Amino acid sequence: MPGSAQARAARPHHRRGPSAGALLAVGSVPVDGVEGVDFADLGVPALLCRALTDQGISNPFPIQAASLPDSLAGRDVLGRLAASNRKREPRRPRAMVLVPTRELAKQVAAVFSPLANAMGLRVTTVYGGVPQRPQETALRAGVDVVIACPGRLEDLIGQRHCELDRVEVTVLDEADHLADLGFLPTVRKLLDRTPQKSQRLLFSATLDNGVDQVVDRYLHNPVTHAVDPVEVPQDVTTHHVLTVNEGEKNAVVMDLASGHGPTLLFTRTKHGAKKLALRLSASGIAAVELHGNLSQAARERNLAAFSRGTARVLVATDIAARHVDPPAEAKAFLHRSGRTARAGASGVVVTLANESQGRDMRKMTRDAGISPILTRVGPGHALLHDLAGPTAPRSAHVPPPRAIPSVTERPATAGGARSKPSGKQKGRRSWQRNARGANR
């Protein structure tokens, strides 16, 4: 077995010293940067430091401060890529970043592209839900870095549009979420196509659900950095558990969604998300939906409407919003709660439960280390007004989001589907509707 002690002992070591080994980072990142430390102190080239400063990024997060020296020592990945005389080859990227969802691929590319441009590197993204031809064209022209969802990249390799035999560095981002979405078998196939001596970096909140097996098989003598346990910052997030009668949930949700600020509503099913968005729109509350049945273009349009504020409410599903559906265990609750109070902003997390679910809710919040405020409410309750804030004007009717047929060459889950809204929207409220009640 690859993960056995005998196999690990027999496996040749290809790294030069412990600090040049592959990197495993476990844990969540606190909201504040590391005071008194800048990227230059960590060995980041001056050209990249200037590019980071141009984006308003001056201090590294703790996980960056912990991991960058080891990831750069002995094999200065960024410097070597820039100084390399190797010709850029068609269909053969030199670095690969694997992420679980399309939205995360776009976010990583948006942050990485200015740095790549400063170093003269060419980057492309690969994910499902959009036409494949532009991705084929980009790979054929030659790229240095491919940021990809596993499913679409596997398709392109199978069609001989991409090879991984020149990959020098592989990054697995949110490996636990890759596991949750069932992508680890594909991830293993992709890693098997990369050179054995190439560097692998893995970032994960947990090591369960098969992630530990990936570590044992593909990371050689990894340097481990654990930065803080997974937790929701208590000083910026307020948790409420509201007990409601079954027949009053819809009215309570309307009250919660009636304020001026951006609000996330989570349902368990795609049909439930669509139905709730339509109901809110019909009542004059600008709402859009986000789930796996929408095409990438529709998802981007709805996310943009929410980001701009033309839609005040985003109704998302479990898949679209990374396990934000009311969970059965504490880990998922923390992931879901993390959709609010981002980057130092304040936020409110509200979970609706009926009487029969009280015991499960108490256990889940206790396991998560959360002490929520418990309140029984009905429509028009004063607390609902306090949580929602001043009531926003309602239009006579808000047209529902226009449906666009999905454009994809494989099942929707292949490209992933998750909303990770920007932390710049301060004071966001995150309403979690309970699974056997309002989560249809």
Q: 23-32: per-residue pLDDT in tens? A: 333 333 333 4
* Sequence ranges of the domains in the chain: 5-226, 237-432
Beta bridge partners of 347: 237, 428
| Contact partners, residue 30, CB within 8 Å, separation at least 6 | 61, 62, 227, 228, 233
The token pair at 28 is 């969540």
CATH (residue range 237-432): 3.40.50.300
- Measured at the CA of 256, the angle between CA 298 and CA 232, to 5 degrees, comes to 80
Coil, helix or strand for 284? coil
Helix (H) / strand (E) element for 347: namely strand 347-353
Q: Which residues of the chain have pLDDT under 50?
A: 1-33, 74-85, 229-234, 320-325, 341, 401, 403-428, 433-440
Residue pointed to by tokens 């004007």: 393
End-to-end CA distance of the chain: 43
Predicted TM-score (pTM) of the model is: 0.59
Fold of 5-226: Rossmann fold (3.40.50)
- pLDDT at site 135: 98
- pLDDT at site 8: 38
Q: 171-191: per-residue pLDDT in tens? A: 999 998 899 888 999 999 999
Residue 276 region by backbone torsions, left for phi larger than 0, else alpha for psi between -120 and 50, else beta: alpha
- pLDDT at site 381: 92
| Equal fold, 5-226 vs 237-432 | yes
Cα Rg of the chain (Å, integer): 23
